Structure 1
Amino acid sequence: MSLAKQLSGLSLGRSQLQVSLNNHINQVRFATKRAAGSKTNKNDSAGRRLGPKAYEGHFVKTGQIIMRQRGTKIHPGENVGIGKDHTIYAKEPGFVRFYYDPFHPLRKFVGVALKKELSLPTPHFEPRVRRFGYEEILDPVEAKREEDHMSRVEYLQQPELKEMKRRRKEKIAESLAKYGSALNEFNLGLSEEESKLAQERLLSIAQLVRVGQSVEEAGIQASYNHLYDLKLSLQRSDITSEEHDTSRQKYLDFVSSFDKKISLDADLNACKYISPEDKIKQQQEIQSQLKNYFNKLITKEDKAKITELIKTPGVFTKAEQHDLFVTYLPKVLPDSIPGATVEIKDAKKAPKGVIIRKIFNEETKTVDLVGKPKEAFLA
């Protein structure tokens, strides 16, 4: 038997011999272990649970997820929001609506209707329905059902919200009564309807002035709000077109005459109207009188007179009054005013009614005692 035949069936453990055609012996080495297969390659990952989580007509709460998706297969519509992973969630409590928008016919939207009988999308030129101004539910069954949909935080805040609403109503009633009594003092000869309209107008202007508008801007905004409410009443068919036109013209005529008689001062009290030309003249006259009290000690009588001049009804705004008070009635009179300081040599023997302060003297590098009489403190 040849050597190649003898070696062909021989296994030498970790290596194996091969014989070439030229009777040369070659050693071939193989792996010592089998390659192990991956355990995870055969198993698929868990599904992401994509798809709708609330369907057409379902009631959802604020923050509840409506749709999970990859990409915007469904686009966010009214009263919903979209997260960075394209999750669509409700921003208002209401009922789910899937719909197409006429302005985007190839896109499908999902939104939340605040009432069950409403459909989406809202017509383009109509205002969206909001939760503000909802009427109280008188039916106890419906009220209980609505109360059950409240979150715990919202439910616990109901007593505080009711108390705030009550205080707000009382404050509005007090303001209307105040403006009503002020109008009676001016003897404008208004009818009962015109008096009520004037009180509501003054209240609206005062509320707008509190948020930063001037009296003139607030008057324009109050007129716009009243006319817009008339327009909404016409759209709701509460009034006819003829009633709307009559009420609108009547209100404009009333405003044009009333605003030239009554206005509001810086403290939001009713005062006599002053034209812009007369207002400038009065401002100049008052400022010339105030200069007589500049750089001098202020007595109690002077302080009362300065306050009266600055608070002249209808002449200065709140910001202008503040600047004038800082100039002519500072909290502490400056040391440059004669009589605003008293020289003190011995702190133990200071006169009565003098407040001692220690001031560092830059020239002598020493601490000087300076007395300030009580008349120098105006605050």
Structure 2
Amino acid sequence: MIKYIIFIIIASILIIACQVEQDMLASKRLEIKEKTVLLRTLQSEINILQEEVEILSPEKKRDSVMVKVDSIYIQPFVRKVNIQGSVISDETVYASSEIGGRILSVNVKEGQQISRGTLVATIDMETVQLQINEMKTTLDLAMTVYERQKILWDQEIGSEIQYLQAKNNKERLENSLATMRKQLSKKNIYAPISGVVNKEFASAGEVAGPGTPILEILDSRKIKVKADVPEQYLATIKNGQQVKLSFPALNEELFSKISLIGASINPTNRTFEIEMNLNNVKGMYKPNLLTEIEFVDYTKDEAVVIPLELLQEEVSGRKYVYVSKKDNDGRDIAAKAYITLGASYEGSVVIEDGLTAGDLIVTEGGRSLVAGNYLSPNM
């Protein structure tokens, strides 16, 4: 019993010690976080004091720094998005046999341009032809029996049932023969549309089942570009919106309009489909041809726009650029302009706040400046 109590006491002490150790670790981590924030705040205050010292110190202003400045002006800003898509046929059909059988011949080749109604393949119907020949012989006999029974019936000789049986047998055989002849007419397979033979699925000598595709035919005159767009642009894309289509393999660009926007989001890659119609009279655009689609994502008619490379950042995270200001003596000095950033695109960024039209921004030499430096600006 005493040993059990001692074990309980020791275990309790160990648990308490571990808990104390964990509490101390969490406390130290919190203290480090707080001091890091304090350090950043102090560094920011130091930077501000250093700038004020630079401004108030005459000896620091003695030499001018050669820089290049440019005037800020209002301009339109456009952000574009590029995605990849591909050319697809607007109409793709399959030539197949309705009844199936061994393929006797395939009369076209892949890549061949054909017209609607062209004979593209034939199916072996020898068995059906033999059945038709046999059916004709049987029908001839049935016709003879029927005619004789009819003569006897007209002369009121013989029973009615014999006459009706002969008539029914003749009509049944006629219907069967018509069905077989219709099947025989399906031995020829014709192109359902005009277009290009894209794929040959079966060759002569192979057996094709009913409805099994033998050829794939594309209407190359009616094609379109299809692309998957990330769902983040769902509010941007509009039906009828103009887009630029580029075909790297053809070194060609053209403008088209969005003709279709998908009604659902693909849950796998979080995209939706868009389609653009193409005129392919010359037949240059081939199915699966790589296409680059460019559309406008954001526009602002009147914006202050500067190069991204001019941005600088303090330890605190505040972003600024250097501008040229006049001091009381009319000399050019460097001053920090703290800015609020907006949309960016291709190395340029919109400034939402901090700069106005007419401000002189330092475009070259800003990395070596401190606030208060005299400037020798070169426009």
Q: TM-score range by the shorter chain?
A: under 0.3
Comparing both structures, which one devotes a greater share of its residues to helix?
1
Comparing both structures, which one devotes a greater share of its residues to strand?
2
Give the number of the structure with larger relative contact order, counting CA–CA contacts within 8 Å between residues 6 or more apart: 2
